Structure 1
Amino acid sequence: MAKKEESVKLLGFWISPFSRRVEMALKLKGVPYEYLEEDLPKKSTLLLELNPIHKKVPVLVHNDKILSESHVILEYIDQTWSNNPILPQDPYEKAMARFWAKFVDEQILPVGFMSLVKAEKGIDAAIEEIQGLITFLEKEITGKDFFGGKRIGFLDMVAGSMIPFCLARAWECMRIDMIPEETFPELNRWINKLSEVEIVRECIPPKAKHIERMNKIIERVKSS
């Protein structure tokens, strides 16, 4: 088990859900860390040195170990600091948590943002496609407090950093109620419970500042 006096640094960006989920994990584990804010889309010399392959945040530096990619970092944190487990112990449940986390980042994110902003097939078709994907998560969370069970875990951090505090604010900018409570009651219940967790609240970007930035990103994507 790692000692608290060991050096832990996190390179992140305040608006990045990938950075925010790593901070959630560190806070849940009670790991002291130094946060280094990147000024993206500019890339610091340090970021390029530590992550020359992807050139993006988050990057975790634990003593002399350098890790990138949020899913990899979350698993490393969970295995290095054994208190407050993030991933399930059961092999099948662990595999499914990884599966749904990839589903969020690789399917819901690109469709939920880029496809919606571009809306090449029309806005209604884009909304229908996104809601179809979100329905899978609605079924997955039904009957549970959190995806991780009675407490937040790996999938809660991945989906929680992405959907209610990133994509939902982009949808708000576009005046779209993507996850209405009458259609997604279980997901909305989960979002409300997630918002009550202290370590989650500490990692949520300020809403007004976040929406202002999302508006600029949306306009830039539309004009590209």
Structure 2
Amino acid sequence: MGKVELIGAWSSPFYRRVIWALELKGIKHEHILEDLTNKSSLLLQYNPIHKKIPILVHDGKPICESLIILEYIEEKWPHLHPLLPMEPHERAMVRFWAKFADDKGLSIWMLFRTTGEEQAKAQKDTLDMLTSIEQHALGTHPFIGGEKIGIADIALGSMIYWFQVLENVLELKILKETQFPKLFKWFNNFKQDSIINKNLPDQHQMFVYFNNLKKKLMDASTYV
């Protein structure tokens, strides 16, 4: 199997995606936690292009970007809890929704980082994104693409879990069970999985962290 190391930061949903994938497959790994305000030489060495986490280091070779890392993990250890369906069209749809989470999930962070008209637009974009998931991503299976948690569930699950924290920080309520019943049912299935549940970050700790971060962003904006 070789040595597996994961460079990340506890507050990052993208780092958490990789943890979930490794844990679901039962792959032993070591964690190297980063202070993103003072990035280490190791991080800059392994990801000199984007200088971001997470970074998976397998036998000394780095792989960057969370979705690419998930694909690598699946290709390297396909026999351990498969993260993609066998049928080609189903595999394509799982990849579609995983990329959708990355592309459209940006609206959540814009909602967190902005005010005024920009925030109003981000709120509309977030609502549209959630509506698309509710209407098109979720079917008769417990998870997206099948009976087991896969790449799309991991990508969307990280987005929704963090969004619930940011809603509390912003004192907004966009994700309502009455409006998104299928999404709530899917997400409950996801976070109640024993491996996922055991590896969820504490929401109170996250609230404190992101609440402080929001205050810093607001303070900084007053001097712009």
TM-score for both structures, normalised by structure 2: 0.90
One of 143, 146, 151 as aligned partner of 2:143: 146
CA distance in 2, matches of 1:113, 1:67: 24
Q: Is the 8 A contact 1:50 1:59 kept in 2?
A: yes
CA distance in 2, matches of 1:126, 1:169: 16
One of 144, 152, 156 as aligned partner of 1:155: 152
One of 82, 87, 112 as aligned partner of 1:85: 82
- Indicate the residue corresponding to 1:57 in structure 2: 53
CA distance in 1, matches of 2:216, 2:139: 37
Give 1:205 shift. Answer: 1.2
Q: Which runs of 5+ in 2 are unaligned?
A: none
The amino acid of 1:106's aligned partner reads D
Give 1:145 shift. Answer: 0.8
Alignment of 1:110-189 (within 5 A): 110-115=106-111, 117-121=113-117, 125-139=121-135, 140-163=137-160, 165-189=161-185
Distance 1:73-1:128 versus aligned 2 partners, 3 A rule: same
One of 85, 94, 99 as aligned partner of 2:96: 99
Distance 1:119-1:95 versus aligned 2 partners, 3 A rule: farther
Q: Is the 8 A contact 1:168 1:178 kept in 2?
A: no
One of 192, 206, 210 as aligned partner of 1:214: 210
Q: Which runs of 5+ in 1 are unaligned?
A: none
Give 1:106 shift. Answer: 1.6
The amino acid of 1:44's aligned partner reads S
Give 1:79 shift. Answer: 0.8
CA distance in 2, matches of 1:207, 1:148: 28
Give 1:100 shift. Answer: 1.6
How far does the alpha carbon of each residue in 1:158-179 deviate from its partner, in whole angstroms, 9 at most, with x for none? Answer: 111121x212101111111111
Q: Is the 8 A contact 1:170 1:214 kept in 2?
A: yes
Q: Is the 8 A contact 1:11 1:37 kept in 2?
A: yes
CA distance in 1, matches of 2:65, 2:197: 23
One of 18, 21, 25 as aligned partner of 1:25: 21
CA distance in 1, matches of 2:138, 2:152: 11
Give 1:116 shift. Answer: 5.1
Give 1:64 shift. Answer: 2.8
SS in 2 for 1:121: helix
How far does the alpha carbon of each residue in 1:133-186 deviate from its partner, in whole angstroms, 9 at most, with x for none? Answer: 1111112114331113211100010111121x2121011111111110100001
SS in 2 for 1:98: helix
- Indicate the residue corresponding to 1:67 in structure 2: 63
CA distance in 1, matches of 2:130, 2:61: 36
